[in-house]
Amino acid sequence: MSTPAPGDQPPLTGITVLEVGVFMAAPYAAMQLADLGARVVKVEDPRSGDPVRASGPFVDGESSPYLRLNRNKESVALDLKSAAGKQAFLELVAAADVVIENLRPGAMARLGLDAAAIWAVNPRVVHASGSGWGQDGPLAPLPGLDIMAQARSGIMSITGTPGGEPVKVGVPVCDLVCGLYLALAVTAALRERDRTGVGQSIDVSLFEAGVSLAVWEAGKWFATGEVGGPLGSAHQSQAPYQAFQTADGWVTIGANTPNTWAGLCATLDMADELADPGYADASRRHARRGELLDVVESRTRTRTTADLLAALGAAGVPCAPINDYGEVFTDEHLNARGFFWDAPHPTLGPVRQIGSPMRFSRTPAVRGVAGPPLGADTRAVLTRYGVPAEVVDAVAPETVAPEAVAPESVAPDTVTPPPGEDSA
């Protein structure tokens, strides 16, 4: 990768994004845009802000998750139910390129701040909405959390072990993928706006984001009508491709090509299996996955994880340990690539951040600031965009003091009131 030239700017430099987001989908999407150089103004309820601010653990009173999910953003505290708050918001809209929100469908319309109202002020705005189930359809009015989207999308039906209780993916995958789709759609809509001069609406749901991931499951069902089930760590159609127990832990192995299968057999002294026509390709090996698992594990259990990783790696067999997050966040490879970085915060000092996986040869992702204190940028942002002084004084007192909100009192993603309304 080439070294960025002095003066090269991130890809979305010059784009202004207004985020009316809570918890995950819209804030995660806006974080991606901020990492790419967009100026993101996060609009929050002046009384308590994004409910993530009440989610622990806390560092000197600041939410640790918030500091990371809302990096590279400015915080503006506005009551969108008030006349002055709406006026200030629309003044910001006039200078914006994108408005991204994940309130409950219809909430922005009830505030008088839906796409039509925004386009009346600035027809170039790209208006992006994230929600549980989408902006229309029979489920649209219902609250939709990540776990409900994982359940209804089928993800939970194939997660876990055969015969076990329902299990969700450990990270909020539908929330996060919805956020990634929102960010991708926004960048595409901005490109289209460059050609036409007008914005458009974007509608992404957690539900459809989850269903969109079912590539292998769709291939099976649409071809055969077969419904998949949980397989633990195993692959849907290829073997060996799963976790295997070792003498001191676990190792994941993916030997699904002729060369890697031969390498695995050589490493584990499986000459008979290599010569067996019943194991000749990944599909046939998958049909005999149960017995193959026993054969492989009878050998992996006699060797340590470190020994297996070294031997399999030397043989060209894809393999990896199952790291916990303590190991991930201190990983030698990630540190060698400079993945983690420290973002300054006005009261906490440096705050460690997960890096962006998007690496550009010439226009690197932004490494700016940690998630800001509530309302820290209200007066500066409103003044920068020419909001009348009397409106600034009405909505932005010199100090914004958030009300104390007990973490246990904060409801999940779709029921806590964000700036003036219910969330998506």
Digitized pLDDT (tens) for each residue of the chain, 424 residues in all: 445 565 689 999 999 999 999 999 999 999 999 999 999 999 999 999 999 999 999 999 999 999 999 999 999 999 999 999 999 999 999 999 999 999 999 999 999 999 999 999 999 999 999 999 999 999 999 999 999 999 999 999 999 999 999 999 999 999 999 999 999 999 999 999 999 999 999 999 999 999 999 999 999 999 999 998 988 888 888 889 999 999 999 999 999 999 999 999 999 999 999 999 999 988 899 999 999 999 999 999 999 999 999 999 999 999 999 999 999 999 999 999 999 999 999 999 999 999 999 999 999 999 999 999 999 999 999 999 999 999 999 998 665 444 433 333 333 333 333 333 344 4
Q: What pLDDT was estimated at residue 238?
A: 87
pLDDT tens digits for range 190-215: 999 999 999 999 999 999 999 999 99
Angle between helix 305-314 and helix 258-267 axes, rounded to 10 deg = 130
With beta carbons less than 8 A apart as the criterion, state whether 127 and 115 touch.
yes
Helices (H), 157-243: 173-196, 206-211, 215-224
The number of angstroms, rounded, from the C-alpha of 379 to the middle of its chain's C-alpha atoms is: 30
Residue with tokens 């309820």: 45
With beta carbons less than 8 A apart as the criterion, state whether 383 and 81 touch.
no
| Residue 383: CB atoms within 10 Å | 12
The Cα 274–Cα 99 span in angstroms is 58
Tokens encoding 138 = 């029979």
Q: What pLDDT was estimated at residue 210?
A: 98
Tokens encoding 101 = 């929100």
Q: Which helix (H) or strand (E) segment is 100 a member of? A: strand 98-101
* Cβ contacts of 81 within 8 Å, gap of 6 or more: 111, 420, 421
With beta carbons less than 8 A apart as the criterion, state whether 351 and 68 touch.
yes
With beta carbons less than 8 A apart as the criterion, state whether 2 and 14 touch.
no
Q: What pLDDT was estimated at residue 412?
A: 31
Bridge partners (DSSP) of residue 41 are 18, 74
Q: Is the peptide bond before 230 cis (omega within 30 degrees of 0)?
A: no
Bridge partners (DSSP) of residue 16 are 39
Residue type, 195: R
407: DSSP letter: G
Picking from 18, 42, 48, 76, the residue whose alpha carbon sits closest to that of residue 397 is 76
Bridge partners (DSSP) of residue 30 are none
Q: What pLDDT was estimated at residue 236?
A: 87
Q: What pLDDT was estimated at residue 162?
A: 93
Hey, is 58 helix, strand or coil?
Answer: strand
Q: What pLDDT was estimated at residue 398?
A: 60
**Could you tell me the maximum CA-CA distance found in the chain, to the nearest angstrom?**
83
Q: What pLDDT was estimated at residue 5?
A: 61
With beta carbons less than 8 A apart as the criterion, state whether 335 and 324 touch.
no
Query: In the annotation, is 175 catalytic?
Result: yes
Q: What pLDDT was estimated at residue 7?
A: 65
Backbone dihedral angles phi then psi of residue 3, each to the nearest 5 degrees:
-80, 130
Catalytic-role residue among 50, 79, 114, 175 = 175
